[in-house]
Amino acid sequence: MILEAKSVSKRFGGLKAVNEVSLQVQEGEIFGLIGPNGAGKTTFLNCVAGDYRPDGGSIIFQGKNITGFRPDIICREGIARTYQIVRFFPKMTVLENVMVGVVFGSKKKVKFPERTAREYLDYVEFPVAHHVLAENLNTIQLKQLELARALSTDCRLLLLDEVAAGLTPAELNKITALIRKIRDDGRTIIIVEHLMRLIMNICDRIFVLNFGEKLSEGTPKEIMSCEMVTKAYLGETYMH
Amino acid sequence: MEMLQQSWDIIVTAILRGGLYALMAVGLSLVFGVMNIANFSHGEFYMIGSYFAFFGITEFKFGPLPSIIFAGLAAFAIGMIVERGVFNPLRQKSKKGWLMNTFLLTLGVSIIMQNGVRMIWGSRYRGVTQFWPGRTKIFTSMEIANDRLVAFIIAMITITLLWYFLTYTRTGRAIRAVSQDETGASLMGIDLNWIHTLTFALSCMLAAIAGASLLSINPAFPTMGVNPLYKSWFVLILVGMGNIWGSIYGGLIVGLLETISIYRFGAGWQDVISLIIIILILLVKPSGLFAKKGVKSVLE
Amino acid sequence: MKRLVTSLGKVFGPLTKLGIRPQIAVLFFALLFVPLFVRDEFTLRLLITSLMFGGLAMAFDFTAGFINIVNFGFAAFMGLGAYSSGLSVLKLGLSPWLGLIFAALLVGIVGFGLGVLTIRLGGIFAACMAWFVALALMAVTANWVDLTKGNSGLSVPPLFVTIRNMPYYYTILAIVILVYILLAVISSSKIGLAFRAIGQDVVAAASSGVFATKYKIINFTISCCLAGLLGGFYAHFVGVLTPQVLHTRNTVEIMVISYVGGRGTIWGGLVAALLLVPAMDYLKGLLELRLIMYGAAMILIMIFYPRGLAGLWTSGADYLKRKGVLPDTSTVSVSKGKTGQNL
Amino acid sequence: MLEIRQLDVSYGYLQVIWGVSLKINEGEVVAILGTNGAGKTTLLKTVMGLLTASQGTITFLGEEITNLPTFKLIKRGLSFVSEERNLFPAMTVFENLILGAYTVRDKKKINDALEYVFTLFPRLAERKNQLAGTMSGGERQMLAIARGLMHGPRMLILDEPSMGLSPMNVEAVFETITRLRSGQTTIVIVEQNVNTTLRIADRAYVLEQGRIVLEGTSAELRSNDQVREMYLGIC
Amino acid sequence: GRGASKPDDGRKIVKIGVQGPFTGPASRVGDEFKAAIQMAFDEIGNKIGDYEVQFVWIDCESDAEKAARAYEQAIVRDKIDVGFNTWHSWVSVALMDIAAKYKMPHFLSFGATEIVNQKYKSDPEKYKYWVGKTWPTPSLLSIAYVEAVNEAIEAGLWNPPNRNVAVYGVDNDWGRDFGNSVARQFEDAGWTVVTREWVALGETEFYPLLNKLQQLGASVVVGSMSDPPSVSSFIKQSREVGLKSLIISDGLGWVGEWYELTGDASNYVLDQIPQWTTPAARKFKDDFAAKFGFEPGASTAGLMYDSARFMIKIMQETLKEHGALTQENFAKIAEKVRTGQLTFKDGIIMKEYKYTNDTFPDPVVGEEYYIFPVIQYMNGQGRIIWPSSWKDEDIVIPDFLKQ
Ligand SMILES: Nc1ncnc2c1ncn2[C@@H]1O[C@H](COP(=O)(O)OP(=O)(O)OP(=O)(O)O)[C@@H](O)[C@H]1O
Ligand SMILES: Nc1ncnc2c1ncn2[C@@H]1O[C@H](COP(=O)(O)OP(=O)(O)OP(=O)(O)O)[C@@H](O)[C@H]1O
Ligand SMILES: [Mg+2]
Ligand SMILES: [Mg+2]
């Protein structure tokens, strides 16, 4: 078990965005987190990554309680993430963007950050020259860049928030393969996604959130056949 | 008894002072909220408001109130010209680094206006001794000059009118829409250029009204805008951006802080005291007393 | 031409690695020899002032151009340096040289505090916080008459016994070279990478492991420390201090220089100072008209060339590279490359 | 109704749209498909005057509208629901809708329009006084579409209306489009959700790297091998 | 550029470098200075003997560094032969070093506070090129108020309820120096100082301060502010608040338009300011207003006019004694100015401008030399009430101050 959340809660004013959520993620699995818009998926990721401090509960990562740690510390502990709305350094080159992760993101001291950064860019098959300013990239390129930066922190656990949103099926296939490759290279992944095709395809286990609370948990098959999930999330007429 | 009397004095003084700070701050806030411009030439419109009121009275022989209105309208016109001549061209060219670029533009406008006025009208002081002679008794013992009272009332009426305009009229709603989402607003059929020009001109008008209604207290001279500018920034930062009613409280708070520190620590320290308190407040509430997180608008 | 540049590139290669631009190295070299040719005391004084403003603009840019916080109270920190250096000489009996160092340290500490204060604030709020601290400092300087003599002004002993400008010239040149090298080296190091990262997206920086607070504080401390040092020089060069030194007017002046020079470049501010300060001096006879022109120039530059002189240089160099006049040596080019469009 | 001829658009040096021509007839639902970054949004924004065309012409109802400012296009009966929604977060649902009718001066027409969108989206009527910024993603999308209908547009342009929505909400959005279509509004829709889109569209264009590479009726496209491979993910 | 040196065509030119705040926050003063100097030199056809006078206007912008730089430029580039005038004390201090460096005699500067005296006294030999202050250290003048008030009380014109005095002032070198010295002088004369209040430069809101003063109930409220908006606001608001004290507002009349700003609120207020008393003075005032379109202030334009004419005299004397207007010769004549051998008696404001070794760099203060009469304002007119030998009228005590 790499990550354990014990009744994690986060409130915004009166709104319980995440309410007593407990879950466990096993080492080396792809863990899907789904739920309707506003269910609290992003908020939960934010709690894990340290962007929000949970109001209650605890988060254990590799046996260490990291609840309420600063995001940069959590990053160096080995949890990296991408954002639903891509975040990057617009006035830096592609290479420098990744170097930030290489230099500051891990506890290990990297001897040749530039070379390492290039390796990660190649790893995600980044299609654009490395000296281009990030502000000139398009959405999919930015998503790849963000992925490379997240990986470059040498993380054990990767949190992906809607990486596939807005991709065409062909692009989807590529990203699916990439996610698999990342997992096969020994990293654990939590993925938040609305695209059922992707989720059902690659997840080992799926966790469904609704109104900040756990609705269901299980293998993709179990989830698909779960009536509650169909009702709250997929919709009656959902068809693949 | 004396304590009580003194507290009343402090409060009344603070209110009178704060009302005009609020009027200045509202204009600043409007431009910041709608156009995302941190305007450092706001004080210069206060200054030309003063000048126009002076000319209204001495040259055109208007009465006090018409002079103030005249000053407001004249500043409105100048504001339109400045917006069209300075900010509009930049907007058409590029919106990169907008906040800082426009900030420098406002500094340029401020320098030009200060020195331009000095070139045209010289640096002599132009003032009138009184608008509305006489004093009014407030409470049992305190008397206040009518000028000051009327200036305060004008400020409050202006702010209320502005609030009504923004809340209930079609154009007002358009201004608020632009402040929240420019692209969205243009997709509603709102002419952004016109709204920007209007907003800037309105803000200039508010500053000019403040300057004009204080003419009998503050004679007009080229560098007079600096102090009110600072004070309105204090208010704006204290209450947070984009909050008209907040600006009134903010004006009163800054007024009160200054008044109290004058009483308690002597006049020179007023800035130190009120700044330290504003800094402390900001440490606790980093985006201002009344700001709502993540929501940018001119009116809550 | 191309070969010349290439061989120059070899000479400056190691420097470039540290982020020190060859053209600036050439400029410093030229400045070293200026007094051999210019024996005119006034020109030297003008150069001293220009260099001083250049140094200030670089230190200002270090914060504004990198971590993207405009220290709108910058002049006050320079003024604080001036007063602390002056007072340490007058009250503690330090030598003016020690005074300079004392000022740098003290203002560095204050900058540290400012960094702590502005940690939670972003954008315009951080700028205003710095400004408010500065206004408060200025008011204290004016009111703490027992210590500072307030608005009457404080006489400060000079750095040198001689009254010639030459020693001051070399002192400020040394300081400015030091400042430039320090800032260039830092900003091209890992720390500089962190500065730019938090300047562009704090959240992304944090999730990449950058502890923004730490770097913000480091940045403020360094920038203020240098402002203090230059302030100390100001004090002993001019010989008299009033609280007006801390005035926002001066911040605006420094800011304009740094912006005209080009944001986030360090060297832009220095070059801009060497052009703007003499230009403004030359136009002195125009009185208000000069300031009106100054304002108008500011507006025109911001509208038509917001990237400043450095931007002009870069696009010029890019143009030459495209024409093949200059070799394309840069590994990290700022030019807009053609982006691949698809996977 | 809308005709685009030989349109070129660039961001700075970077040209994104290359000689695009297309034609949309009254009453049609036309889909524009394309990979990420193909330039769909760019194309729509240029039509709406949010970006400037460097070459080519756009005509609407027989009049040239190339590079007219956006607000004038709204007055002529175009409406655009953007990818980013562009709602006014600090205003209520009601105020958002009223602003949708900014170009309409007639009170009665506004009220009629309000009634119409409230029958389309009963949810909005319930939430009339909620701030738009506090609504969920699906509700926001409904509001954006409703707002786009408030001035009674002759043509509605939708940019990825289902992006980021849960499957249930996606369903709801497509249902709305079908209903609008029966209401005689011409619709242009850009979507990634190719499958569903082709089900409701009459015709479609395929945009690739800023060029139109295919066009035809939905049925034609659905049976086209290239489309099947690229967009439907059927290999 | 202006870097031209002297023409070789035989024309003789003397270049005089005039320091002043010609732009910046104090430019109002600079305007008056410039105008008054031009008046004085126009009267002599801009000629000293066969020398044509050329001015180099050196703008200090109210900033020590800029002033010093401009001064060095004037010396090195414009090759001025002599320096003249300043306004701020801190500018004086910065320029003293430059003057010493180039041995440039610099005559008659306004910068008046103690800091200038201290710098001079720290090394009189080095700073001997800094020749004379146009305005004495404030404390030398303010004693007149104490004497005027005490004389009125002794003469039975006024029976104040107490011997308390409240001191206020603008928070700068001028205001504080004045306030503190007048406070000391009142204390020496047996009065009690109940408060000292400093206000920010440019402040125009005095309700809190005035209410405080009113509650303290001092018989005399004395102070100085240097900027007209503050002064006029203070006076007007003191009436609005109903302050029941005799107000001494040093410097109210510094700008010509003071009465337009304060109106009758200035009635009964005491000030110490030179008046346009002599016919020559009144003529100057009228000529000035006609020529430049604004009212001159007696203590700025008026004093400057005297100062400029003293300067003319110095130049004429230099020419007469040494035959040429050169920097060295001006330096020689400086000795005579400093020791009182060369004085100026034809001023429109003061009886005699004179320095002695004892007073230097201050001018000799006294009824026959340099003194500001104490005046009381009534309906826009200032009437001299002290010294008795100059007196127009007795002090008038308003009803609200009578017991
Ligand atoms: N900073 C915040 N302040 C106030 N409310 C918030 C904040 N962040 C999120 N919320 C609210 O918390 C709830 C959960 O939001 P969250 O972003 O976690 O949803 P989500 O599951 O990621 O939805 P989506 O699929 O649309 O991205 C929503 O109702 C949202 O409005
Ligand atoms: N503001 C911009 N500056 C520079 N290039 C841009 C800008 N916006 C978009 N582009 C580029 O233009 C191209 C087309 O972008 P556009 O957003 O139109 O694509 P799209 O088809 O709508 O893609 P998506 O499916 O992601 O919405 C992309 O390569 C993108 O990188
Ligand atoms: Mg989310
Ligand atoms: Mg798009």
Q: How far apart are CA C123 and CA C200, in angstroms?
A: 11
Q: Are C81 and C103 in contact (CB under 8 A)?
A: yes
Q: What is the pLDDT of residue D168?
A: 77
C304 in contact with B, Cβ within 8 Å: yes
Q: Which atom of ligand 2 is nearest to the CA of C341?
A: 29
Asked if C339's CB is within 8 angstroms of D209's CB, the reply is no
Greatest mean pLDDT range, B196-205, D29-38, E113-122: B196-205
- Over 60: is that where the pLDDT of E151 sits? yes
Higher per-residue confidence, D102 vs D122 = D102
Length of chain D: 235
Work out the percent of chain D whose per-residue pLDDT is above 90: 44
SS3 A14: coil
Q: A181 CB contacts (<8 Å, ≥6 apart)?
A: none
Mean pLDDT, all residues of chain E: 87
- Over 60: is that where the pLDDT of C115 sits? yes
Strand pairing category for D155-159 and D186-190: parallel
SS3 B281: helix
A26 in contact with D, Cβ within 8 Å: no
Instruction: Using CB atoms, pick whichever of B183, B193, B300 lies closest to residue D50.
Output: B183
Q: What is the pLDDT of residue B187?
A: 93
A178 in contact with D, Cβ within 8 Å: no
pLDDT in tens, C178-213: 999 999 999 888 999 999 999 888 889 999 999 988
Rounded to an integer, the average pLDDT of B5-11 is 76
Residue A64: CB atoms within 10 A of its CB come to 10
Q: How far apart are CA B116 and CA B98, in angstroms?
A: 26
Asked if D13's CB is within 8 angstroms of C341's CB, the reply is no
Q: How far apart are CA E93 and CA E68, in angstroms?
A: 10
pLDDT in tens, E205-228: 787 788 888 888 899 999 988 778
SS3 A64: strand
Domain ranges in chain C are 2-322
Rounded to an integer, the average pLDDT of E164-181 is 85
Q: Are residues A74 and A144 in the same domain?
A: no
Q: Are A208 and A24 in contact (CB under 8 A)?
A: no
A37 in contact with D, Cβ within 8 Å: yes
CATH topology of domain B2-299: ABC transporter involved in vitamin B12 uptake, BtuC (1.10.3470)
Q: How far apart are CA C6 and CA C15, in angstroms?
A: 14
Q: How far apart are CA D51 and CA D159, in angstroms?
A: 15
Q: What is the pLDDT of residue C330?
A: 44
Q: Which of the four pLDDT bands, split at 50, 70 and 90, describes residue E2?
A: very low
Residues from chain D contacting residue B177 (CB–CB below 8 Å) = 88, 91, 99
Closest Cα partner for E335 from E169, E124, E166, E165? E124
Asked if C143's CB is within 8 angstroms of B272's CB, the reply is yes
Q: Which atom of ligand 2 is nearest to the CA of D207?
A: 21
Which residue in B175, B183, B188 has the most chain D C-beta atoms within 10 A of its own C-beta, making it the best mutation to test that interface?
Answer: B188
Show the tokens assigned to C159: 């750095």
Higher per-residue confidence, A60 vs B300 = A60
Q: Are residues A9 and A48 in the same domain?
A: yes
Q: What is the pLDDT of residue D175?
A: 84
Residues from chain D contacting residue A140 (CB–CB below 8 Å) = 36-37
Of A123, A155, A187, the position where a domain reaches its end is A155
Asked if D95's CB is within 8 angstroms of B188's CB, the reply is no
D133 in contact with A, Cβ within 8 Å: no
Rounded to an integer, the average pLDDT of C324-333 is 52
Domain ranges in chain B are 2-299
Asked if D75's CB is within 8 angstroms of B189's CB, the reply is yes
**Does A210 sit in the ligand 1 pocket, CB within 6 Å?**
no
Q: C197 CB contacts (<8 Å, ≥6 apart)?
A: A89, A92, A100, A104, C204, C205, C208, C210
Residues from chain D contacting residue B189 (CB–CB below 8 Å) = 70-71, 74-75, 102-103, 151
What percent of chain B is helix, strand and coil (3-state, nearest 5)? 75, 5, 25
Closest Cα partner for E351 from E384, E390, E377, E381? E390
Rounded to an integer, the average pLDDT of A78-106 is 90
Q: What is the pLDDT of residue D74?
A: 93
Q: Are E64 and E16 in contact (CB under 8 A)?
A: no
Q: Are residues A240 and A160 in the same domain?
A: yes
C216 in contact with B, Cβ within 8 Å: no
Cβ contact A–C (≥3 pairs, < 8 Å): yes
Which residue in C68, C196, C208 has the most chain A C-beta atoms within 10 A of its own C-beta, making it the best mutation to test that interface?
Answer: C208
Q: What is the pLDDT of residue E28?
A: 82
Q: What is the pLDDT of residue E277?
A: 78
Q: Which atom of ligand 2 is nearest to the CA of D42?
A: 18
Closest chain A residue to the Cα of D190, Cα to Cα: A166
- Over 70: is that where the pLDDT of C4 sits? no
Q: Are residues A68 and A91 in the same domain?
A: no
**Does D39 sit in the ligand 2 pocket, CB within 6 Å?**
yes
Q: What is the pLDDT of residue A136?
A: 81
Q: How far apart are CA B104 and CA C260, in angstroms?
A: 10
pLDDT in tens, B17-26: 889 899 999 9
Greatest mean pLDDT range, A49-58, C223-232, D217-226, E239-248: C223-232
Q: E318 CB contacts (<8 Å, ≥6 apart)?
A: E325, E329, E330, E332, E333
Alpha-carbon gap: E4 to the closest alpha carbon of chain B (Å): 28
Sign of dihedral through CA atoms B237, B238, B243, B248? Answer: negative
Q: Are A199 and A32 in contact (CB under 8 A)?
A: yes
Q: Are residues A163 and A238 in the same domain?
A: yes
Which residue in C129, C288, C289, C291 has the most chain B C-beta atoms within 10 A of its own C-beta, making it the best mutation to test that interface?
Answer: C288
Asked if D137's CB is within 8 angstroms of A194's CB, the reply is no
Q: Which of the four pLDDT bands, split at 50, 70 and 90, describes residue B256?
A: confident
Q: What is the pLDDT of residue A38?
A: 75
Give the type of residue at B133.
Answer: P
Least confident segment among D108-122, D153-167, E55-69, E101-115: D153-167
Ramachandran angles phi, psi of D47, nearest 5°: -55, -40
Q: How far apart are CA C140 and CA B190, in angstroms?
A: 49
Mean pLDDT, all residues of chain D: 86
Residues from chain A contacting residue C205 (CB–CB below 8 Å) = 72, 89, 100
Residue tagged 């001064």 (tokens): E71
Rounded to an integer, the average pLDDT of E132-158 is 89
Closest Cα partner for A211 from A195, A225, A228, A193? A228
- Over 90: is that where the pLDDT of B75 sits? yes
Q: How far apart are CA A171 and CA D235, in angstroms?
A: 13
Instruction: Using CB atoms, pick whichever of D69, D84, D99 lies closest to residue B188.
Output: D99
**Does A78 sit in the ligand 1 pocket, CB within 6 Å?**
no
**Does A49 sit in the ligand 1 pocket, CB within 6 Å?**
no
Rounded to an integer, the average pLDDT of E156-176 is 86
CB pairs under 8 A between B and C: 113
Least confident segment among A202-216, E229-243, E317-331: E229-243
Rounded to an integer, the average pLDDT of E242-271 is 87
- Over 50: is that where the pLDDT of B246 sits? yes
Q: How many domains does chain A have?
A: 2
Instruction: Using CB atoms, pick whichever of B89, B93, B275 lies closest to residue C135.
Output: B275
CATH topology of domain C2-322: ABC transporter involved in vitamin B12 uptake, BtuC (1.10.3470)
Q: What is the pLDDT of residue C336?
A: 35
Q: Are residues A186 and A223 in the same domain?
A: yes
Which residue in B152, B215, B259, B262 has the most chain E C-beta atoms within 10 A of its own C-beta, making it the best mutation to test that interface?
Answer: B262
| Structural domain for A146, as ranges | 86-155
Rounded to an integer, the average pLDDT of A40-53 is 91
Q: What is the pLDDT of residue C339?
A: 35
Q: Using CB atoms within 10 A of its CB, is residue C146 exposed (0-12), middle (13-18) or buried (19+)?
A: exposed
Q: How far apart are CA B153 and CA B134, in angstroms?
A: 16
Asked if E94's CB is within 8 angstroms of C240's CB, the reply is yes
**Does A37 sit in the ligand 1 pocket, CB within 6 Å?**
yes
Q: Which of the four pLDDT bands, split at 50, 70 and 90, describes residue D23?
A: very high
Q: Flag whether the pTM goes above 0.90.
A: no
CB pairs under 8 A between A and C: 117
Give the bridge partners for D22, in sequence order: D4
The three-point CA angle C46-C52-C55 to 5° equals 140
Q: How far apart are CA D83 and CA D73, in angstroms?
A: 18
Residue B99: CB atoms within 10 A of its CB come to 15
Closest Cα partner for C172 from C232, C223, C95, C221? C232
Q: Where are the beta strands (DSSP E) in E171-296?
A: 192-199, 220-224, 246-250, 270-272
Closest chain D residue to the Cα of B179, Cα to Cα: D88
Angle of the E207-216 helix axis to the B244-265 helix axis, nearest 10: 30
Q: What is the pLDDT of residue A174?
A: 85
Task: State in Å: Cα A35 to ligand 1 middle.
Answer: 12
pLDDT in tens, E77-90: 889 999 999 998 88
Instruction: Using CB atoms, pick whichever of E23, E25, E257 lies closest to residue B125.
Output: E257
Q: What is the pLDDT of residue B178?
A: 92
Higher per-residue confidence, C39 vs B252 = B252
Q: Using CB atoms within 10 A of its CB, is residue C11 exposed (0-12), middle (13-18) or buried (19+)?
A: exposed
Residue nearest to atom 9 of ligand 2 (CA): A138
Q: Are residues A70 and A174 in the same domain?
A: yes
**Does A195 sit in the ligand 1 pocket, CB within 6 Å?**
no
Q: Are residues A73 and A182 in the same domain?
A: yes
Greatest mean pLDDT range, B65-79, C260-274, D50-64, D87-101: B65-79
Least confident segment among B174-178, C7-11, C113-117, E357-361: C7-11
Residue B267 is given by DSSP the state G
Closest chain E residue to the Cα of C144, Cα to Cα: E171
Substitution candidate for ligand 2 out of D20, D42, D205 with most atoms within 8 A of CB:
D42
Task: State in Å: Cα D206 to ligand 4 middle.
Answer: 14
Q: Where are the beta strands (DSSP E) in C179-303?
A: 240-241
- Over 70: is that where the pLDDT of C14 sits? no
Q: What is the pLDDT of residue E80?
A: 93
Q: Are E347 and E339 in contact (CB under 8 A)?
A: no
* CATH code at position A54: 3.40.50.300
pLDDT in tens, E31-50: 899 999 999 999 999 999 88
Ramachandran angles phi, psi of D204, nearest 5°: -150, 150
- Over 50: is that where the pLDDT of A76 sits? yes
Q: Are residues A74 and A183 in the same domain?
A: yes
The three-point CA angle B266-B272-B277 to 5° equals 110
Q: Which of the four pLDDT bands, split at 50, 70 and 90, describes residue C310?
A: confident
Closest chain D residue to the Cα of B93, Cα to Cα: D12
Residue D226: CB atoms within 10 A of its CB come to 12
- Over 50: is that where the pLDDT of C341 sits? no
Q: Are residues A13 and A74 in the same domain?
A: yes
Higher per-residue confidence, B289 vs A44 = A44
pLDDT in tens, C30-70: 999 988 888 788 889 999 999 999 999 999 999 988 988 88
